[in-house]
Structure 1
Amino acid sequence: EFAREQGAKVPGRLVASAKSWLCHGGVDRRANILPWGAEGDIPKVSPVDASMRYLQHIREAWDHLMRRGKEEWQFDQQLIVLTVPASFDEVARELTIAAARDAGISRVILLEEPLAAFYAWLSNNEDSWQNQMSDGQLVLVCDVGGGTTDFSIVGIREGEKGLRFNRLAVGDHLMLGGDNMDLALGRYLEQKITGSAGKLDARRWHQLVYQCRKAKETLLGSADGQSKMDITVMGQAGSLIGGTLKGNLDQQEIQNIIFEGFFPEVSADETPETKRSGLTEFGLPYVADPAVTRHMAAFWRRFEPLMRQETGRDAVFPDFVLFNGGALTPQSLRWHLTMLMRNWFSPIAGSNWMPKELPNPRPELSVAIGAAYYGMVRLGEGVRVGSGSPRAYYVAVASQKESRKQESVCLVPRGTEEGFEIKLDQLNFEALANQPVAFQLFTSSTRVGDQLGDIVTLAEDETTVLPPIRTVLRFGKRDEARKIPVNLGVRLTEIGTLDLFCESKQTHHRWQLQFDVRQDADRSGDGQPQSVGETVDQQLIDAALALIESTFTTGDSSAHPEGLTKQLENALEMKKERWPTSLIRKMADKLLEKMDGRKLSAAHEARWLNLLGYCLRPGFGDPLDDWRMKQIWKLYFEELAFANNAQARTEWWTFWRRIAGGLTPGKQLQIFQKIQPSLQISASGKSKKKKSGPKLNPHEEQEIWMALANFERLPAADKQLLGNALLRKLSLTNPRDLWAISRFGARQPFYGTLDKLIPATEAAHWIEHLLKQKTGKPELLGNTLVQLARHTGDRSRDIPEDLRQRVATFLTDLPQGKTLVERLSQSQHQFGKEEQDWLFGESLPTGLVLSEKPE
């Protein structure tokens, strides 16, 4: 509590919600990004490091109090159970394990929090639960904590030794909890005392939210009749609203906001809102629909068929409900949810029916108590809840028969216990060796009955697509592509990852393929373009590949590289702007195969770089692009064959700009650091003498700036350095300079992560600088200002509201002003095709659609 209170006074030094950050796919979770939005001189830690420090503190506290000089009593000699949200994806689970190891804790078991809460109830009812429950009954566990909401269903079945428990279902990840309620109260009170939401700076906003949380906990749990709390936010000199702010919240206001906003009365068939973007505060991406009750109704409907099958009941409803989490501490709220469920299910359960609430007298400790009890269960004592994998896992396979339906093999049946390992040697698999391949995984939480090795056809609405693993299975010495017979083996680890391996039936070759198994990890949600496919006649493709082959083959003097692009357009019977992703990646592979052909002449090298960059842009979007990028990186160390040719040097930087999205942070930084001296910039802002070597021509230097501007994975400090250097030499009549500035200072990345964005204060300085400049072509500034001033809903990224309004006023008088103002004000805006092309600097390949970015 001291940390919360002190953190509210110095929010720039407060790290909160570290657990929620572990499952935030929009940032690099191993990078030092917390406190989110803190100024550059404040030391930062990664979400993994923050989690490690919590665990390290617990370990050191235990050893201080409990070890008493005995090695066997020290913390790392105990059986440690760590609890995580049930909806934690497997990446977050692996990061949790990593944090534990970093804290010096090696013996770790993960347990889902709703299940831990149920174990806590079991610990108090171990001897009597069989008298309270009967075969076929169902328990709904509703866990609404500070940062996440989890739903689980536990079934009671008759076994050989009497009644037993089985965990039947787990809900999807919902970043929704008490933190959201505190933010909602904060926005309500901010508007109440300042006249509008969004006016407070980050420091005072943290203060306000902290005090709203205290008011919520005090007034909703008040036993002394207190009905109102005064709230004071200390002033800040020089601020727009510089004085101390005072307001108050009463019990009825809080109850109305929480009940109506987060637990509204909804029908059993309502569906959560998904179209609009969720709240983004403190950098975290909360769910679009804050109504817990709507999510609960959708969760129950989703698993109704499964529960009928598992229980044999025609009418399925929760016979028992267990509430857990600090947000559900108020009795009035639990009663409200109980009555809502009565309205949902009484038509099938009977007019007098009501779910029985399982008592949870200490919700703040129930997860810890349940985890301790589970440790005893692991040692052979107590009552165990069957909690095998709530999902089945599948791998896609190609069939020898012609079929439009995708077939998949069941690798892990639903309900499989951890530690499961087997080799699928009853099926005849063939693997493609010595060429890039992708193994595609799927998971389903609703399909039942599929057994290990079953070949099935999966429906889209019952599965989630998982990230594929892309690799090359090396076999033999000649490296020629071939098919080899293999066995497929699988192991479900204790931390939820799926280990997959191929084993040759002919030799001792064995290839280990470890998947990061992430539910809801479909690449459609990561902001990267997806290939949606377009078919081109194979004869036309063969003709195009033959042209590339002949142009870059040693000794073929009849091929002239300058006209290759036009020849390809003629051969393919379409302009290059219409070439689909599937086609240009085939052309890229042929160009990579003919890499040595670029050394025939300076013209060959320039054309090879230009065409390869065009065919690989934007560096991602095809399953095998990761493999292609590894091949491309060899080119960087080889450098140009004709380094003194101006055209080749310019095309070199155009190439790296086009494929930048496929380069890792380390590779982007390496390229920048090597070219930095030639740009005459330094961290101090003073000019530096150029290194000896070819002088940069204007076209080359322009392409270097544009390439670096597209390096979204560069550290924010380097982007800030580059942007300020470019501002000093900026030409307001040069659209390419303005484009580069917009990319260095963007509030919403095109493909990068949010932790690499420059501070909002710096973006605001750049905007002020641009608005003060006199230019005869103000329309050139429009898109640049939109990218620098775009509203995101995250106060750490957003510029001051009054400055954004000045930008909006400026944009209104420009051509397409209405469209630009709409882009400026739409929080979490999904880039349209026109804006995508502008951001990338040219059109994206046909067949690529940029998904909505995560926050």
Structure 2
Amino acid sequence: MEAGAECPAKGIVAQFGSGMTQAPYIIGIDLGTTNCALASIQVEQGADVPVLDFPIPQLQRPGELVERRLLPSCLYVPGEHELPPGSTSLPWGESPKLIAGEFARWQGSRVPGRLVASAKSWLCHPGVDRSAPILPWGAPAELHKISPVEASAQLLAHLTAAWNFAHPNAPLAEQEVVITVPASFDEVARALTVSAARQAGLEKFTLVEEPQAAFYDFTAHHRRNLADALKDVRLVLVVDVGGGTTDFTLIQVGITPEGPGLRRIAVGDHLMLGGDNMDAALARLVEERLVAGGRKLSATQWTQLVQATRDAKESLLSASGPERHGIALVAEGSRLLGGTLSSELRRDETERLILDGFFPACAPDEAPRRAARVALQELGLPYTQEPAITRHLAAFLRQHAKAGFSALGEMVSTAALPRPDAILLNGGAFNSPKIAERLLEVVSSWWPDAPRIRLLPHYSLEMAVARGAAYYGLARRGLGQRIGGGAAHAFYVGLATEKEETTRHALCLIPRGHEEGQPVDLAAQPFTLTLGRPVQFPLFSTTADRIDRPGDLVEISEEFRALPPIHTLLKDAGGKTASVPVHLRAMLTELGTLELWCVSDATNGRWRLEFELRGAVEKPVTTVTEAMPARSEEAREIVERVYGQHAPPGGQKEAKQLSRTLEGVIGPRETWRLPLLRELWSTLHAGAKRRRRSVDHERVFLQLMGYSLRPGFGYALDDWRCEETFRLFGDGVTFHAAQPVWNEFWIMWRRVAGGLNEAQQLEMWNYLKPHLARSIPPDAPKSLPKLKGVQPQGLEEMVRTAASLEHLPPAEKVELGNWIASRLKNRAATAGPWAWALGRLGAREPIYGSSHKTVEPAQAAEWLSLLLEIGLSSADGTAFAVAQLARLTGDRARDLDESIRARAAEALKAVSAPEPWLRMITEIVIMEAADEARALGDSLPLGLQLR
């Protein structure tokens, strides 16, 4: 955005101000992980208007329409001739390409490869590109896929169309709409939810946290007697266990002349833990009965089983549920009689598994169990490692002891937790009286000398959030009791200081409790930015009980959570490059999203800073400020002398010895840390044109450029550095007859590949592909016409580079991998990078790329079988390639069959492979730092951790 752009705060006021009060309806939408719901209020005089559930038309079976209060949060992608013509028509005359609701859940349990479920959980997943078409997860490449954002938009679009059909004179887009989100949703997940709503045609809406919405439903049922309903209650704990997330919220109840005053004083950190995990736990129990000998179901059968156990859980835990629920799966293979696998779940064992696994008795000082090396995944999602909700709850109360005791009017005690006076439960799991009773029993036990904690009544665990969202809209109009509290999270921007080495600091932007719509101007903290260069700010949030004010500089600790960075390219209207003094201006919008601006009073310029929303890669931004080596300025001058404007006498010899000269000044090359490396990159980049002075100038330039920018991410502005570096790719090499120059050219691109985007990697691959197609396969046709232009050299480094391009589509990786496999089959041509490259291409866990770009398990298994056949000692790097191909992730859409992984483990034992490689195959672990470097094919800068 150019200078002079207006801050959109006025637009927000217009969007949520007086124009909305004319809407005849207030609509609450629960956009849930498992189910969606919609409730409405038709605004009339007074505050006693009822909140009405909206029956949602949806397909139950082909050609069979029903109206249900809940719309299952499922989408089904039908095959071209799978369903009879006209059997998917909806009342509003549409036959959608993606079918939402009850039919999607039913048919998806039969054909799980076409089911999109848990889209809301995918919005929280930073390890994939959430705007890319990745769902259904693990489905074949030829199947039409959609992004998590589009899946959420499709569910909202169905709700919108259903409402519009029932209310043609009051379309949903013209009403006041409130959409619920988990309290623990971070900025990116909130922003993606906003994007989904806008894709569904909604513009006038706001967001409310789900635990607050559940409490609003409670207040709506006690509009006239809220003081009596909350008598002797000063602190309410809301426990919301949804399909994909668990949220905790503390609400303070104060006494005012007008009645109870409500204020949200604390929310929990993000927990991807809920009903989906319970479904998976039940599925594992049933799997043990269905499959003998420790074998596991296929990915397709597993998805089908999870859907079946979800249905069983909801049935068994309902108030009038049966004692038993049958489970049936379509068998794979002809050896199974009847073509099905069948079992059952009992009500008592279902409750027992959930009680002992998710709500176990625990001490008040018991912490969630964390295994730092474990990276648990299920159905592709990175769920919380500790399933015990009660332990997370105890940790939440300890974390917010200061706020809790303050609300109770008591002194903080390090030996105790703040005891809530009442608990409000929300979420389908609490349909089971035994589960609700267990939670209340465990929490009450933390204060053995106090009476049992009071349980506030709920009126519908399925509809409370949608109803409460609608009532929140009424409260915003002054017609109901509103919960205060402002921002649930505090926001900070990382800044550099010059005081101490390895000290991280951040500037407080929005303190916890700050009210929405109130801008914060940090004019007292000016700094200088250069126009024409991208600016990147590390961003952090915390829910901790901190008393920070806007502008306070604080030290970052473990209670801070890193968010994707904010970045922008600052330009003035004339495109000039200059340094300008600026300060930050922040605001928490009424949507609950953060806006951040750079403001220059000197030039009247304003620049909007944008979040990185794609989240395709977890690239940590280092905010550590380190002192540069004592002679770093001398090192910079040495580089400038070699690549400066004026070539010194004997320049080629000086270029040839540049690396050794630098090591003599600033120490061994392996000790150069990130700030120094990036500073060297800047000096080299400034002299890029002078690399053409000689063969040695070009070779050493390429060598140092790649080394100083490796691995292409991990430090502020690396995206920009990689973009600037990639401009050199089209130039190729000047001394193209010298193979050492070509080798360094390809090594540089392999080193920085992690910082290149998909388009850049595709451009590189399209250049490499025709040359590799002629050079790698031993049986490549000799009659292929010769390629025009300069012929690149350095085949082995070209292969390493190509194998490092993790953003390539899987089909391209398979093509390259099969060329390499054909070479490995020729036993005389196995020496070289071939096994390493095959392991990198088929790795089950990417180093920096998105999980949805991994090749299919069947293909990886084929390559693994080849390596096992030729032997782990027959080619360089084969053992480690086997470990990468057979690695266990916990995601059945990516993991290989257990039998071939067992073969791989035995082969590694036979060659005495390192223990961490064996553990990668048999356990779900995070890769050791040394092995990450081995997988990258290069060392990592000191202090950089990829995960």
- Settle same-fold status: TM greater than 0.5: yes
- Cα distance in 2 for partners of 1:81, 1:720 equals 46
Counterpart amino acid of 1:326?
G
Q: What's the CA shift for 1:815?
A: 3.5
* 1:798 matched to 2:891: no
Q: What's the CA shift for 1:93?
A: 1.0
Counterpart amino acid of 2:192?
L
- Cα distance in 1 for partners of 2:584, 2:621 equals 31
- Cα distance in 2 for partners of 1:721, 1:32 equals 22
CA separation of 1:779/1:238 partners in 2, compared to 1, >3 Å: closer, same or farther? farther
After the TM superposition, which residues 243-254 of structure 1 pair with which residues of structure 2 at under 5 Å, given as runs?
Answer: 244-254=340-350
* SS of residue matched to 1:848: coil
Partners of 1:527 and 1:750 within 8 A in 2: no
Q: Mean alpha-carbon deviation: is it higher for 842-851 or for 656-665? A: 842-851
Q: What's the CA shift for 1:386?
A: 1.2
Q: Mean alpha-carbon deviation: is it higher for 368-377 or for 241-250? A: 241-250
CA separation of 1:91/1:436 partners in 2, compared to 1, >3 Å: closer, same or farther? closer
Q: Deviations 1:228-274 (Å, cap 9, x if unpaired)?
A: 33323232225799963232222222122111111101111111012
Runs of at least 5 residues in structure 2 that lack an aligned partner in the other structure:
1-101, 413-417
Q: 2:689 aligns with which of 596, 617, 632?
A: 596
1:760 aligns with 857
Q: What's the CA shift for 1:283?
A: 0.5
2:804 aligns with 710
1:652 aligns with 745
Q: Mean alpha-carbon deviation: is it higher for 398-407 or for 32-41? A: 398-407
Q: Deviations 1:518-548 (Å, cap 9, x if unpaired)?
A: 9xx9x9x936596878755322x22322221
Partners of 1:531 and 1:621 within 8 A in 2: no
CA separation of 1:517/1:340 partners in 2, compared to 1, >3 Å: closer, same or farther? farther
Q: What's the CA shift for 1:704?
A: 1.7
Q: 2:602 aligns with which of 495, 499, 506?
A: 506
Partners of 2:872 and 2:879 within 8 A in 1: no
* 1:555 matched to 2:653: no
Q: 2:561 aligns with which of 464, 475, 480?
A: 464
Q: 2:734 aligns with which of 630, 636, 641?
A: 641
The TM-score normalised by the length of structure 1 is 0.91
After the TM superposition, which residues 405-484 of structure 1 pair with which residues of structure 2 at under 5 Å, given as runs?
Answer: 408-425=506-523, 427=524, 429-433=526-530, 438-453=536-551, 455-458=552-555, 460-470=557-567, 473=570, 484=580
- Cα distance in 2 for partners of 1:241, 1:595 equals 70
- Cα distance in 2 for partners of 1:51, 1:428 equals 40
Q: Deviations 1:534-588 (Å, cap 9, x if unpaired)?
A: 755322x2232222111123422322222222222222232x2232222222211
After the TM superposition, which residues 199-214 of structure 1 pair with which residues of structure 2 at under 5 Å, given as runs?
Answer: 199-214=296-311
* SS of residue matched to 2:657: helix
After the TM superposition, which residues 370-409 of structure 1 pair with which residues of structure 2 at under 5 Å, given as runs?
Answer: 370-396=468-494, 408-409=506-507
Counterpart amino acid of 2:809?
P
Counterpart amino acid of 1:616?
L
Partners of 2:598 and 2:606 within 8 A in 1: yes
Q: Deviations 1:396-442 (Å, cap 9, x if unpaired)?
A: 556798999766543223212221224334x2523243566553444
Q: 1:34 aligns with which of 135, 143, 161?
A: 135
CA separation of 1:92/1:531 partners in 2, compared to 1, >3 Å: closer, same or farther? closer
- Cα distance in 2 for partners of 1:32, 1:190 equals 30
1:148 aligns with 245
Coordinate RMSD, CA, aligned: 3.0
Counterpart amino acid of 2:629?
D
After the TM superposition, which residues 218-617 of structure 1 pair with which residues of structure 2 at under 5 Å, given as runs?
Answer: 218-221=315-318, 223=320, 226-237=322-333, 244-275=340-371, 277=374, 279-314=376-411, 316-347=418-449, 350=450, 353-396=451-494, 408-425=506-523, 427=524, 429-433=526-530, 438-453=536-551, 455-458=552-555, 460-470=557-567, 473=570, 484-515=580-611, 526=618, 537-539=629-631, 541-553=632-644, 554-559=646-651, 560=653, 561-574=655-668, 576-617=669-710
CA separation of 1:206/1:452 partners in 2, compared to 1, >3 Å: closer, same or farther? closer
CA separation of 1:847/1:533 partners in 2, compared to 1, >3 Å: closer, same or farther? farther
* SS of residue matched to 2:690: helix
CA separation of 1:198/1:299 partners in 2, compared to 1, >3 Å: closer, same or farther? farther
Q: Deviations 1:258-296 (Å, cap 9, x if unpaired)?
A: 111111011111110122535412101111100011111
Aligned length: 829
The TM-score normalised by the length of structure 2 is 0.82
Q: What's the CA shift for 1:137?
A: 0.4
Q: What's the CA shift for 1:517?
A: 10
* SS of residue matched to 1:626: helix
After the TM superposition, which residues 782-793 of structure 1 pair with which residues of structure 2 at under 5 Å, given as runs?
Answer: 782-793=879-890
Runs of at least 5 residues in structure 1 that lack an aligned partner in the other structure:
none
CA separation of 1:367/1:841 partners in 2, compared to 1, >3 Å: closer, same or farther? same
2:68 aligns with none
2:144 aligns with 43
- Cα distance in 1 for partners of 2:542, 2:674 equals 29
CA separation of 1:55/1:479 partners in 2, compared to 1, >3 Å: closer, same or farther? closer
CA separation of 1:533/1:748 partners in 2, compared to 1, >3 Å: closer, same or farther? farther
Q: 1:624 aligns with which of 697, 709, 717?
A: 717
CA separation of 1:779/1:444 partners in 2, compared to 1, >3 Å: closer, same or farther? closer
Counterpart amino acid of 1:414?
R
Q: Deviations 1:660-692 (Å, cap 9, x if unpaired)?
A: 01101121112212332233379x999664531
Counterpart amino acid of 2:908?
L
Partners of 1:552 and 1:594 within 8 A in 2: yes
2:62 aligns with none
- Cα distance in 2 for partners of 1:800, 1:478 equals 57
Partners of 1:141 and 1:153 within 8 A in 2: yes
- Cα distance in 2 for partners of 1:812, 1:846 equals 31
Partners of 2:371 and 2:385 within 8 A in 1: yes
Partners of 1:532 and 1:849 within 8 A in 2: no
* SS of residue matched to 1:708: helix
Counterpart amino acid of 1:370?
G
Q: Deviations 1:458-507 (Å, cap 9, x if unpaired)?
A: 4624433444445565579997875x543432221233332222322333
- Cα distance in 1 for partners of 2:159, 2:478 equals 26
CA separation of 1:403/1:655 partners in 2, compared to 1, >3 Å: closer, same or farther? closer
Identity of aligned residues (%): 39
CA separation of 1:689/1:89 partners in 2, compared to 1, >3 Å: closer, same or farther? farther
Q: 1:738 aligns with which of 814, 835, 840?
A: 835
- Cα distance in 2 for partners of 1:236, 1:242 equals 11
CA separation of 1:126/1:421 partners in 2, compared to 1, >3 Å: closer, same or farther? same
Counterpart amino acid of 1:631?
E
* 1:157 matched to 2:251: no
Q: Deviations 1:11-64 (Å, cap 9, x if unpaired)?
A: 110111001001100101011111111112211111111111111111112222
